[in-house]
Amino acid sequence: MYPGSEIYGGLAGTWDYGPLGLTLKNNIKNSWWKKFVRDRDDMNGMDAAILMNAKVWEASGHIAGFSDPLVECKNCHKKFRADHISGGKTETGKLELPKECPECGKFGTWLPESKFNMMFKTNIGPVEDKSSISYLCPETAQGMFVNFKNIMDSFHPRLPFGLAQIGKAFRNEISPRDFLFRAREFEQMEIEYFTRESEWKKIFENFRAEILKWLSDIGLGKNSVHELEVPAEDRAHYSKKTVDFEYDFPFGRNELCGLAYRTDFDLKNHKLDYYDEETKERFIPHVIEPSFGLDRLVLALLAEAYNEDELGGETRIFLKLKPNVAPVKVAVFPLLKNKPELVEKAKEVWRIIQSATDGLVMFDDNGNIGKRYRRQDEIGTPYCVTIDFDTLEDDTVTVRDRDTGKQERVKVGELASLLKNSLK
Ligand code: ATP
């Protein structure tokens, strides 16, 4: 990952994904989509526009209330998110600010707290007036709510059912920080699951268990993920129950994803309802929302996978990513790049592995084998396959395991099934 617009000094709160970061992110997305959408018969995927009619955000309550508390120091004019620098709340529920400004150190310089709306505003078309105002979506959720009627009319799903979307979200964070953790442009993976009110608890608990299971499936250990039942005073006003899944990031424990019971708040706001053909009732479904930040998952996986150990008398860095998310699944090396017979055989082996593997298989003939192993270790490639002179004699190759550094000789004919099983 690189800072966005880096050669021009960057743009705070934006990050660009390079080839490996993008593949890691795509692997997380694919695993999520498979688990929560493709492998279920009660889910439909969709992809709504980033720019939406301002009326959507009026109805959803974002124009009036999607804001963070802002304070400014009148000495250095630095602006802070009040809840990020506050040490707690007063008896009356007001945020207690530190006595001195964290930037300039002056005492008693706070201007009165204000509310800062985090939506990015823009104008549609050539005329910049009130009627042309639009907002970049600050969440994917509303794109699903406003399409509820379209989905009902064209697919007629029966309750309970869910809509899922992976997409960009934009928030004008007062102080973006901690790398991918708090950005101004990021990606979300969200589900809006519609149900009858009487069923919400059962569905909530089911998602709660499924979320924990999936986090563990992609490699986030049970010891570093923690559930936090959000107390009523900290919950969004429409939510009757929220559980945050927090992760022990290197900079502290923080929200990774969330699960909220949003009641019938959203569909009611958009004046949408459901007609039950069997019972002939018309009512507003209730919603359970699992919401994941993709970039926070990337960051958590990198933190979780980072390892250092001693191998061959040297300290090495390796990423212990699970094979299902590792950007490169296997790397194939000819021992020497100036021996055409080795290179040719290595290309043949690369093709065999490539067609037997779902993910990326890298070909690398650059530098000595030790260096090539280290490079793959650093990007978390689970297996390296080396083609040497013995390969030309007996059709065996060396397969090296990232975590142990152990090598074994395997027949080329057995490689495909061996790697297929090991990479599951
Ligand atoms: P926070 O309290 O950390 O600002 P939030 O509670 O406002 O987050 P939600 O509105 O619940 O976040 O958004 C759902 C998910 O989107 C979060 O769990 C998080 O993973 C992700 N997310 C939210 N804001 C950001 C951001 N600025 N940068 C990266 N990911 C984010």
- Condensed to tens digits (0 to 9), the pLDDT of residues 150-184 reads 999 999 999 999 999 999 999 999 999 999 999 99
What one-letter code names the amino acid at 161?
F
CA of 340 to the centre of ligand 1 (A): 52
Q: Ligand 1 atom closest to Cα of 294?
A: 20
The reply to whether ligand 1 has any atom less than 6 angstroms from the CB of 257 is: yes
Average pLDDT of the chain is 95
C-alpha 359 to ligand 1 mean position (Å): 29
Which residue, by CA, sits nearest to atom 20 of ligand 1?
A: 293
Lookup: tokens for 304: 């979780």
The tokens 């009619």 sit on which residue?
53
Distance 293 CA to ligand 1 centre (A): 6
CA 12, 118, 239: angle at the middle one, nearest 5? Answer: 130
pLDDT tops 90 at residue 33: yes
Name residues whose C-beta falls within 8 Å of residue 279's C-beta, 6 or more positions apart in sequence: none
Answer yes or no: is pLDDT of 262 > 90.
yes
Asked whether 249 lines ligand 1 (CB < 6 A), one says: no
Distance (Å, whole) CA 381 – CA 383: 6
Protein residue whose Cα sits closest to atom 4 of ligand 1: 182
- Is any ligand 1 atom within 6 A of the Cβ of residue 388? no
Residue 43 confidence (pLDDT): 97
* Cβ–ligand 1 contact at 245 (below 6 Å): no
Q: What's the 3-state SS for 236-294?
A: CCCCCEEEEEEEEECCEEEEEEEEEEEECHHHHHCCCCEEECCCCEEECCEEEEEEEEH
For residue 317, the one-letter residue type is: I
Torsion 36-40-43-47 (CA) sign = positive
| Stated pTM of the model | 0.94
Residue nearest to ligand 1 atom 10, measured at CA: 139
The protein residue with its alpha carbon nearest to ligand 1, atom 18, reads 257
Two tokens, residue 254: 């923080």
| Residue 232 CA, ligand 1 centroid: distance in Å | 18
Give 363: exposed, middle or buried? Use CB within 10 Å, 0-12, 13-18, 19+. Answer: middle
Ligand 1 and 186: CB distance under 6 A: yes
Name the packing angle between helices 412-422 and 340-356 (round to 10°). Answer: 40
pLDDT class of 288 with cuts at 50, 70, 90: very high
Q: What confidence category does residue 84 fall into, taking pLDDT thresholds of 50, 70 and 90?
A: confident
CA distances from 396 to 8, 39, 255, 348, 412 (A): 50, 38, 48, 13, 5
Say whether pLDDT at 293 is over 90: yes
